[in-house]
Amino acid sequence: MATQIPTTTGAASTRKQRAMSGTGGRTAALFLTPFFAVFALAMVAPVIYSIVLSFFAQQKSGLGFGEAKTSFVGLENYFQVLQSESFVGGIGRLAMYCALYIPCMVGGALAFALLLDAAVARARKLFQLLVFLPHAVPGVIAALIWAYLYTPGVSPIVSVLESGGIELNFLDNQMILPSIVNIAVWEWTGYNVIVLFTALQAVPREILEAARVDGAGEIRAALSIKLPLILPALSVIMLFTVIGTLQLFTEPSIISKATASVTSTWVPNMWAYDAAFNRHNLNQAAAASIIIALMAAVLSWAVTRFSSRMNKA
Amino acid sequence: MSTSTLSRPRASTPAGPPKRRRAARNGGFASSFTVNALLILGCAYMVLPVVWLFFASTKNTADLYGTAAYAFGEPAFFDNIAAVLNQDGGVFLRWMANSMFYAAFGAVFGGLISVMAGYAFDKFQFRGKDSFFGIVLVGVLIPNTATVLPMYLLASVFGITNTIWAILIPVLCNPFGVYLARVYSAAYVPAETLEAARVDGAGPIRSFFSLGLPMMMPGYITIALFQFVGVWNNFMLPLVMLQDQQLLPVSVGISIWQGYSIPQPEFTPMVITGSLLSIVPLLVAFIMLQRFWKSGLTAGSVK
């Protein structure tokens, strides 16, 4: 890794480089090598190996007796994954999850941050701490808590609804998606409230004071002054939220033990896990992982493009 | 229920900066009431599930299904804790210790690696800097779970699955930490200070450890804190990599107990009490280190 970083001695030195002489490539390499070594081991090499693996398949000869043979099959694994009904269905469920989760979470976080930044809000420190609390709860535990809160007999929510005459099964086929969205909203809203609130605190007070003198009310100031000024923070949140939704694995895997509505291949990540550990088809699992990574790359590129255009406008 | 848990500590905290409160005079009682009521409602949604976990952990299996959710049954809290700690020869404590070790290792060493890289990207000039930083950003954008199975596939080639190395190497890699560290380095470490150190004859390594790193300490702690939480919360990586019960972190361990509790309901109080015990260390860390995660986020968003 170190050899890939050329020293600046051969380069035409700019004025900036002359000012920082002695802090050139060789020292930079020293500081960067640990990170890029780990990065190569934990990200680059696994992805490259998976790409290689995804072009091969284990084939049993004849009647399935004897040694399995490994042979090059080109893009066959990719076709199989993309033709699998459960994988494509998983992508569909993930898309619906995004469509529900992103507006709920980002909208909720924005509303809460604006309320917290309103001049009349009290006890800001305590509210921030409380709203951040779910982020200190691991995803597994969050999913477990909510799984119990959805289970009739244990859940206070279900019994309150029942006494109000409402029969609602949070774990049936219709409700399972909103139920899982709710877990994610609970886990992530508070974190993003803090990010947005700190951005709001950086809005110059003179601007808000001027708006107030001009007669703008609290709500008007929030929507037409504060909101446009925190758009950069909002677009960063959008980017990380979109990447985050593709990670969906923990919550549905935990919930899948409590209900049959969540199958073992419910989202693409679960499909890949199932391919590797239940169907023992490592080549297909590799192909599925590469497809998921590619989807993430395309999506985050799209979000970055979209938000940079929004910020310019 | 929510108001009694919320209002008690509220009285002891100062209510916002005084300058902003004075500006509230044109808000009136109605809007002040609405704003704070909505805030309390939002916080209740965040807090009540954790409060439920606490109440549920005080009950035995029969009371869990038989009594009101936010009420105490036969006191079984300490019985539950004893059951959690004694199950399978005290494997729960082993899981907690594993989680602590993996998360602390990732926080301290992964954090340091990220800080060094971010500092280099900010303070040093070298050819290909933009391309290398581009690689870091690509790393930020690739979701964690997409690389877990590839890591498993590669790790099984080297035969390190089901060993601690399968966890310890991946937790050192934190591209987002590098990005944050670059921001912190630009904010906290003035170039003039380093220039002065250079004139005084300090080499770049010496000036990093005696000047740069101490100045970036709040940033380092923030990056380490977030890495700690990330590793502690990670579920898919240890689930895929580890089979040996003695190596599992607490997240995977409790999910195994949850699997047992479906056919055997007497495991349910242990799942609930174990969950409560497993979040205590993080809650304490968050409350104690409030200053750091908040100042860290502030520095990040102002830039």
Q: What is the mean pLDDT of residues B245-249?
A: 93
pLDDT, one tens digit per residue, over B267-277 is 888 889 999 99
- pLDDT for res B297: 61
Q: Which one is predicted more confidently, A71 or B152?
A: B152
DSSP codes, chain A: -GGGS--GGGSPP-HHHHHTTT-SHHHHHHHHHHHHHHHIIIIIHHHHHHHHHHTEEEEE-TTS-S-EEEEE-TTHHHHHHHH-HHHHHHHHHHHHHHHHHHHHHHHHHHHHHHHHHSTT---HHHHHHHHHGGGGS-HHHHHHHHHHHHSTTT-HHHHHHHHTT----TTSTTTHHHHHHHHHHHHHHHHHHHHHHHHHHTS-HHHHHHHHHTT--HHHHIIIIIHHHTHHHHHHHHHHHHHHHTT--HHHHHHHTT-TTS-TTSSHHHHHHHHHHTS--HHHHHHHHHHHHHHHHHHHHHHHHHHHHHHH-
- Distance in Å, alpha carbon of A241 to nearest chain B alpha carbon: 11
In this complex, which of A119, A140, A146 lies closest to B49 when CB atoms are compared?
Answer: A146
In 3D space, the residue among B135, B148, B144, B164 whose CA is nearest the CA of residue B249 turns out to be: B164
B287 in reach of chain A (CB within 8 A):
yes
Contacts of B198 in chain A (CB under 8 A): 22-23
- Distance in Å, alpha carbon of A216 to nearest chain B alpha carbon: 11
CA distances A78 to A275, A298, B27, B162, Å, are: 13, 17, 60, 29
Binding-face residues of A in 64-103 toward B, CB within 8 A: none
- pLDDT for res B301: 46
Contacts of B125 in chain A (CB under 8 A): 8, 14, 16-17, 20, 23-24
| Interface contact A198-B302, CB threshold 8 A | yes
A20 in reach of chain B (CB within 8 A):
yes
Residue A190, Cβ density class (10 Å: 0-12 exposed, 13-18 middle, ≥19 buried): buried
Domain A77-311 adopts which CATH fold? MetI-like fold (1.10.3720)
- Which of A1, A9, A13, A31 should be substituted to probe chain B, the one whose Cβ sees the most B Cβ atoms within 10 Å? A31
Per-domain residue ranges for chain A?
A: 31-72, 77-311
In this complex, which of B151, B236, B287 lies closest to A42 when CB atoms are compared?
Answer: B151
Q: Is the ipTM of this complex over 0.85?
A: no
- Quick check: A254 and A140 in contact, CB under 8 A? yes
| Interface contact A41-B173, CB threshold 8 A | yes
Tokens of B248: 């599992």
Entry pTM: 0.83
* Residue A20, pLDDT above cutoff 50: no
**A32, closest residue in chain B (CA to CA):** B117
| Interface contact B50-A218, CB threshold 8 A | no
Q: Which residue has the tokens 């050899």?
A: A3
Q: How confident is the model at residue B70 (pLDDT cuts 50, 70, 90)?
A: low
* Residue B241, pLDDT above cutoff 80: yes
- pLDDT for res B14: 43
**B289, closest residue in chain A (CA to CA):** A129
Binding-face residues of B in 243-282 toward A, CB within 8 A: 251-252, 254-255, 258-259, 262, 271-272, 275, 278-279, 282
* Residue A94, pLDDT above cutoff 90: yes
In this complex, which of B42, B50, B302 lies closest to A131 when CB atoms are compared?
Answer: B42
Q: From CA A51, how far away is CA A78, in angstroms rounded?
A: 11
Q: How confident is the model at residue B167 (pLDDT cuts 50, 70, 90)?
A: very high
* Region of residue A259 (left: phi > 0; alpha: psi -120 to 50; beta: else): beta
- Which of A3, A7, A23 should be substituted to probe chain B, the one whose Cβ sees the most B Cβ atoms within 10 Å? A23
* Residue A109, pLDDT above cutoff 90: yes
pLDDT, one tens digit per residue, over A141-198 is 999 999 988 888 777 777 778 777 777 788 888 889 999 999 999 999 998 998 888 8
Q: What is the mean pLDDT of residues A101-106?
A: 94
